[in-house]
Amino acid sequence: MSEIAQLQGDLDAHDARFAIVVSRFNKLVGEQLLNGALAALRDHGVPDGDIEIVRVPGAFEIPATLKILAESARHDGLIALGAVIRGETPHFEYVAGECARGVREISADFGLPIAFGVLTVNTLEQALERAGAKGGGNKGAEAALVALELVDLYRKLRALK
């Protein structure tokens, strides 16, 4: 009986370039997510010169911006950060859904790792908790780790012939 082949990425993306697209809407949350992502990338050896930060007005604008970055072929991985907080209207569903759908489509269309660190929450307090403001984990840092792992995994997969 033959052994089952297994492959996974490591948190090793030496000489990889990343772009982080962060929404300015809900800026307090976005900046904390960005700080977490930057810390995680730096902790794993990614130099500042290999990181590009792109700020957009809101989460709805993230996918189109990711598409332009993907088309540029300057980055090995992309990270989407922001927060969509539920309000009293259906606006939340449209923005959150279109952002998630757009990120997925860009990643699939370009075969490019894109980590989704856009919070979709009910309250500002929930968003701050997920951004690490209250001592919990930082979803921006988690998204950066996903990007690191996927860049390494995609490289391994592409090396298979």
Which residues are catalytically annotated? Answer: 91
CA-based radius of gyration for the chain: 16
Asked if 112 contacts 9 with a C-beta cutoff of 8 angstroms, the reply is no
Torsion of CA 49, 28, 145, 63, to 10 degrees: -80
Asked if 92 contacts 129 with a C-beta cutoff of 8 angstroms, the reply is no
